Amino acid sequence: MSKNIVITIGREFGSGGREIGQKVAQALDIGFFDKNLIDIAAKKSGMDSSLLYQADEKASNPFFSAYLPSGSEYGTINDRLFWTQSSIIKDLAEKQSCVIVGRCADYVLADYENCLHVFVYAPLEDRIERIMERYLIDTPHAAKKEIHREDKVRKSYYQYYTDLKWGISAGKHLSIDSSFLGIDKTVDLILDIIQKKWNIN
């Protein structure tokens, strides 16, 4: 690949966005980053990774978020994680082609060229089915509750750090219902777009 391209993927819980991102990265033989950004952030910041995992993709909350020792530059673990991850994401974009899932990466890289910003969603019934299978949840009702809870967390995280609305087209190049073509053909479609844009495949 002659130049770096970065594909960022926002996603509804249970939409298959992460799997799509992984398969796009595999097909292009490029890096894939999602939760593993936390370990990189832990190394970079010297903070405890178990604390960072708790704060992952969650908005700061003045009442419940863990505060850093006084004298620290940042208020909460969540803020510190967000800013550390943002700086790692920018570094990655300078150095390599990759797929980044979540972490407001579309917002962090809004001024970067050679990015494709995607949002993946799906009808609730498809997400329920996926979540039940993936997390071995017994009932559709429990899966639905988990979906609403997780979407709410992601939404408030995204809106807290970006001041943009989560899940709408602003800042995205493409939003796609993964149930329309299914996971593998959606992956192919994203590869088509990359090929059309940058002649890369």
The minimum distance between CB 173 and its own copies, in angstroms, equals 4
- Judged by CB under 8 A, the stretch of 73-81, 92-100, 116-124, 140-148 that binds its own copies is 116-124
Min dist. Cβ of residue 45 to its own copies (A): 34
197: contact with its own copies by CB under 8 A: yes
67 neighbors 75 (Cβ within 8 angstroms): yes
- Kindly list the distances between the CA atom of residue 12 and the CA atoms of 46, 106, 172, in Å, as whole numbers in the listed order: 31, 15, 14
Binding piece for its own copies, criterion CB under 8 A, among 27-35, 86-94, 144-152, 162-170? 162-170
Among residues 59, 116, 143, 183, which is the contact residue for its own copies, using CB under 8 A?
116
Give the one residue of 74, 156, 177, 200 binding its own copies; rule: CB under 8 A. Answer: 177
- Beta-strand pair 115-121/174-177: parallel
Q: Partners of 8 in the beta sheet?
A: 100, 117
Residue type, 164: L
Contacts of 146 (CB under 8 A, 6+ apart): 13, 131, 135, 137
> How are beta strands 6-11 and 115-121 bridged, if at all?
parallel
Cβ nearer to its own copies, comparing 67 with 180: 180
The residue (of 66 and 174) whose beta carbon lies closer to its own copies is 174
Near its own copies by CB under 8 A: residue from 193, 199, 200, 201: 193
